[in-house]
Amino acid sequence: MTAPLPRRVLVIGGSGTLGRVIVQDLLAEAASVAFTWYLSKDRADALTAAHPGLTALQLDVTVPGAVATAVNAAADALGGLDALVHCAALAITPGQSPPAGTYQKMADLTADDFALLMQVNVQSAFLAAQAAVPHMTDGGNIVLLGSVDSVKPVPSPVHYAASKAALTGLARAMAKELGRANVRVNVIAPAILEAGMSEIVPDDTVQQFLKHSGFGRRGTLKEAAAVVAWFAVHNTYVTAQTVALDGGL
């Protein structure tokens, strides 16, 4: 049987709806965990109060240099890093609420809207991985949260789908470059879940998903988090993959 792997994990975006469950699953795997949060101080405080020893770091991924600073601080706190989970993301342009029952259409998007999602969803993943790898002295796992929007043709804001698809390219290229350092890079791509970003998916899209998916139900946060935690803590040979979690869409 494989020897137990070191389990020092940083979660970028750990105060979000899915991020919190990922953090809790990692803790259940006996991992030492640090996580970043941005605006949800109450949620971050609740997590650290419930789990003594958990390291919380505030991070605005759009501030130049801030991502590397947070990663280095997490590595200092944990005594190194064995895994990085990136689940910080925007689903739509902040401040823009599309009419009820619809999603942001491409005609309404500006270049700045597009650039912001690429910055938050993709560039921060790159910057976090770039900063984390030097701390993974015995190899490790990088797990990026993608989306079924980038794996299968489903209705989606184009900048969101493009950003999640970019993670697949990022993961494949990083896997090639980092493989000899025994660092594995994968994308976990959930479809519509019970909560979190899925809450802004128009009802019509949800109904279409339920109709066409093999299971005919939404995924649970726990189901998504379990896969992320396995890839962060236990994976030794899967790399450069994008794994869809979509109940058979």
Kindly list the residues in this chain that would bind another protein in the complex (CB under 8 A): 1-2, 25, 28-29, 175-176, 178-180, 182, 184, 190, 213-216, 219-220, 223-224, 226-227, 229-230, 234-241, 243-249
C-alpha to C-alpha distance for 199 and 126, rounded to whole angstroms: 27
Which residues, 6+ apart, have CB-to-CB distance to 97 below 8 Å? none
Q: Please identify, using beta-carbon distances, which residue of 117 and 233 lies nearer to another protein.
A: 233
Q: What sign has the CA pseudo-torsion 151, 241, 245, 85? A: negative
Q: Please identify, using beta-carbon distances, which residue of 52 and 211 lies nearer to another protein.
A: 211
Pick from 24, 84, 88: nearest CA to 50: 24
Q: Please identify, using beta-carbon distances, which residue of 51 and 217 lies nearer to another protein.
A: 217
Closest separation between CB of residue 155 and another protein, Å? 20
Rg of the Cα atoms in the chain: 17
Closest separation between CB of residue 129 and another protein, Å? 15
In the block, tokens 């190194």 appear at 80
Closest separation between CB of residue 234 and another protein, Å? 6
Closest separation between CB of residue 237 and another protein, Å? 4
Report DSSP letters for 114-137, one per residue: HHHHHIIIIIHHHHHHHHHGGG-B
Q: Please identify, using beta-carbon distances, which residue of 118 and 243 lies nearer to another protein.
A: 243
> From residue 162, how far is each of 13, 146, 149, 150, 246 by CA, in Å?
20, 10, 9, 7, 18
Q: Please identify, using beta-carbon distances, which residue of 28 and 50 lies nearer to another protein.
A: 28
Closest separation between CB of residue 29 and another protein, Å? 6
Q: What sign has the CA pseudo-torsion 103, 195, 71, 130? A: negative
Two structure tokens written together for 140: 């490790």
Q: Please identify, using beta-carbon distances, which residue of 113 and 246 lies nearer to another protein.
A: 246
Closest separation between CB of residue 215 and another protein, Å? 5
Closest separation between CB of residue 231 and another protein, Å? 9
Pick from 184, 170, 181, 187: nearest CA to 239: 184
C-alpha to C-alpha distance for 106 and 50, rounded to whole angstroms: 42
Q: Please identify, using beta-carbon distances, which residue of 99 and 211 lies nearer to another protein.
A: 211
Q: Are 93 and 108 in contact (CB under 8 A)?
A: no
